[in-house]
């Protein structure tokens, strides 16, 4: 069995990916500093997987602690989910974003190189595309990140590309996620935002649960059929299996032409804000009150993935419908009204 270090593994995407990795016979070691997650996630993962999971409370910027982990385990690869991800916060505190995301990644890469662990899957984002010229988005579209968070992802991708060119030993896949949605079928793990959510789905479920009064729809004057923004929502379990597929490609059946590949993970289907509201209303059986307000700075009218590269290189395809995404989020919200408490 292959040993994988999962940094940021207690977070929303990492926790779901870990269950998929275990189901596919990978041994997982988790490192997280809980800056945006709870230790309870580890307990839940152990219950759901039936395994004891080696876990380390570590900041990826702490080289000594990382070195201790690498000297204890013989890793075949690393998945790095550890990162700060709130766009608005990154505008207010750019240095903490560059420090956490970029310095953290460099630190991790240096320790990987020291221990000759050269296989990496990195959490990138559709946000690296900036304001695109064509839609759906292909990986060949130019990058044009428009805020500090997005630039941390772009800079890291550039570092990873340089590294892969510097030596044939490195094998790196950057997965560019579109909009993750959904939760594990058990309803035991899911997205657990701090405070008032920034993103659409957790905001809607908190309105439905009576924790917030109404949803504010950011603009209905976009160049889309109903005037609200269209996004490519992808089920969290599909995203999770995308990581297993990426690791399988790196470790088992390497067939990539390049040592670095950036690959979109989305559903390839777009839904407007109004369509998402309607899907949640159908699942929940209640109307979601909303008010239309002005546009949010930085929002694109449409963001949609071309996922043919993921199919071609990783053999991965999204499988879940938007209805399942909404139903699974709602199950998680109902079972855990206060998140991981
Ligand atoms: P999350 O905040 O739920 O998970 C990130 C985890 O990393 C958290 O558990 C946090 O405590 C940990 N972490 C942060 N900085 C760390 C550090 N320096 N050392 C150790 N642990 C650290 O976020 P998520 O939604 O699971 O996202 C995972 C990754 O995917 C992030 O890098 C994010 O930027 C990227 N991403 C997320 C989305 C999304 O919509 N959720 C979209 C595109 C890309
Ligand atoms: C946002 C981030 C993106 C990040 C992604 C996942 C911005 C500009 N982009 O993407 O970098 O990778 O989250 O974390 O912040 N909406 C409302 N009301 C709300 C919330 C959202 O109308 O209360 C609308 C938005 O205008 C958007 C859509 O819903 O059109 C989806 O928004 P959101 O869930 O925040 O995702 P993105 O903006 O696509």
* Average model confidence (pLDDT) across the chain: 97
Cβ pair 244, 24 in contact under 8 A: yes
For 153-201, give the DSSP string.
HHHHHHHHHHHHHH-TT-EEEEEEE-EEE---TTSSS----SSS-SSHH
Distance 285 CA to ligand 1 centre (A): 32
Indicate the top mutation candidate among 5, 13, 88, 243 to test ligand 1's pocket, ranked by most ligand atoms within 8 A of CB: 13
Q: Point out the ligand 1 atom lying closest to the alpha carbon of residue 85.
A: 34
Task: Give the pair of three-digit tokens for residue 29.
Answer: 């070691």
Distance 220 CA to ligand 1 centre (A): 30
Measure CA of the first residue to CA of the last residue in the chain; give whole Å. Answer: 34
- pLDDT beyond 90 at 142: yes
Give tens-digit pLDDT for 94-137.
Answer: 999 999 999 999 999 999 999 999 999 999 999 999 888 899 99
pLDDT value of position 254: 79
Name the 3-class secondary structure at 313.
helix
Pairing of strands 230-231, 271-272: antiparallel
Distance 200 CA to ligand 2 centre (A): 6
**Residue 322: which of 288, 283, 287 has the closest Cα?**
283
Cα–Cα distance for residue pair 83/102, rounded to 1 Å? 9
Give tens-digit pLDDT for 275-285.
Answer: 999 999 999 99
Residue partners of 215: CB distance under 8 A and separation at least 6: 203, 204, 207, 277, 288, 289, 290, 291
pLDDT value of position 132: 86
DSSP-derived letter for residue 22 is H
- pLDDT beyond 80 at 253: no
Give tens-digit pLDDT for 298-331.
Answer: 999 999 999 999 999 999 999 999 999 999 999 9
- pLDDT beyond 90 at 154: yes
Q: Point out the ligand 1 atom lying closest to the alpha carbon of residue 124.
A: 44
**Residue 80: which of 103, 50, 47, 49 has the closest Cα?**
103
Cα–Cα distance for residue pair 45/139, rounded to 1 Å? 33
Q: For 70-95, what is the mean pLDDT?
A: 97
For 265, phi and psi rounded to 5 degrees? -125, 110
Closest ligand to residue 234's CA? 1
Q: Give the whole-number percent of the chain exceeding pLDDT 70.
A: 100
pLDDT value of position 130: 86
Helices (H), 175-321: 200-208, 236-251, 273-284, 308-309
Q: Point out the ligand 2 atom lying closest to the alpha carbon of residue 297.
A: 8
pLDDT value of position 10: 98
What is the CB < 6 Å shell around ligand 2?
A: 85, 87, 125, 127, 179, 198-200, 203, 215-218, 229, 231, 273, 296, 298-299, 303
pLDDT value of position 255: 80
Closest ligand to residue 125's CA? 1
pLDDT value of position 252: 86
Residue partners of 184: CB distance under 8 A and separation at least 6: 16, 19, 48, 190, 236, 237, 328, 332
DSSP-derived letter for residue 302 is B
Containing 56, the helix (H) or strand (E) segment is: strand 55-57
- pLDDT beyond 80 at 217: yes
pTM for this one? 0.98
CATH topology (fold) of 3-181+234-266: Rossmann fold (3.40.50)
What is the CB < 6 Å shell around ligand 1?
A: 7-8, 10-14, 32-37, 59-61, 81-85, 100, 104, 123, 125, 177, 180
Dihedral of CA 102/313/323/279: which sign?
A: positive
Catalytic positions: 149
Residue minimizing CA distance to atom 33 of ligand 2: 199
Distance 300 CA to ligand 2 centre (A): 9
- pLDDT beyond 80 at 42: yes
Q: For 72-81, what is the mean pLDDT?
A: 98
Closest ligand to residue 86's CA? 2
Indicate the top mutation candidate among 13, 149, 152, 179 to test ligand 2's pocket, ranked by most ligand atoms within 8 A of CB: 179
CB count within 10 Å of CB 69 equals 19
């Amino acid at each position: 069995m292959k040993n994988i270090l999962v940094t940021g593994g207690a977070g929303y995407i990492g926790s779901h990916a870990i269950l998929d990795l275990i189901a596919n016979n990978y041994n997982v070691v988790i490192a997280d500093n809980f800056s945006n997650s709870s230790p309870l996630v580890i307990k839940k993962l152990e219950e759901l997987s039936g395994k004891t999971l080696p876990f380390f409370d570590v900041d990826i910027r702490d080289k000594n602690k990382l070195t201790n982990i690498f000297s204890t385990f013989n890793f075949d690869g690393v998945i790095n989910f550890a990162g700060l991800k709130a766009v608005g916060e990154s505008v207010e505190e750019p240095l903490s974003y560059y420090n956490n995301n970029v310095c953290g990644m460099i630190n991790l890469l240096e320790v990987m190189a020291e221990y000759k662990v050269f296989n990496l899957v990195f959490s990138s984002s559709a946000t690296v595309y900036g304001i695109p010229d064509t839609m759906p988005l292909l990986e060949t579209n130019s990058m044009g990140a428009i805020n500090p968070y997005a630039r941390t992802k772009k800079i890291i991708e550039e570092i990873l590309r340089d590294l892969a060119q510097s030596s044939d030993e490195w094998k790196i896949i950057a997965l560019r996620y579109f909009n993750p949605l959904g939760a594990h079928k058990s309803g035991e793990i899911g997205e657990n935002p701090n405070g008032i959510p920034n993103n659409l789905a957790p905001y809607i479920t908190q309105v439905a649960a009576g924790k917030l009064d109404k949803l504010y729809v950011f603009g209905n004057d976009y160049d889309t059929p109903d005037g609200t923004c269209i996004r490519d929502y992808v089920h969290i379990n599909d995203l999770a299996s995308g990581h297993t597929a990426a690791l399988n490609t790196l470790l088992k059946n390497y067939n990539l032409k390049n040592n670095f590949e950036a690959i979109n993970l989305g559903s390839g289907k777009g839904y407007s804000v109004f369509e998402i509201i309607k899907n949640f209303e159908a699942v929940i059986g209640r109307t979601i009150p909303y008010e239309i307000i002005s546009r949010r700075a930085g929002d694109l009218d449409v963001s949609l993935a071309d996922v043919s590269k993921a199919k071609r290189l990783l053999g991965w395809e999204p499988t879940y419908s938007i209805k399942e995404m909404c139903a699974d989020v709602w199950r998680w919200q109902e079972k855990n009204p206060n998140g991981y408490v």
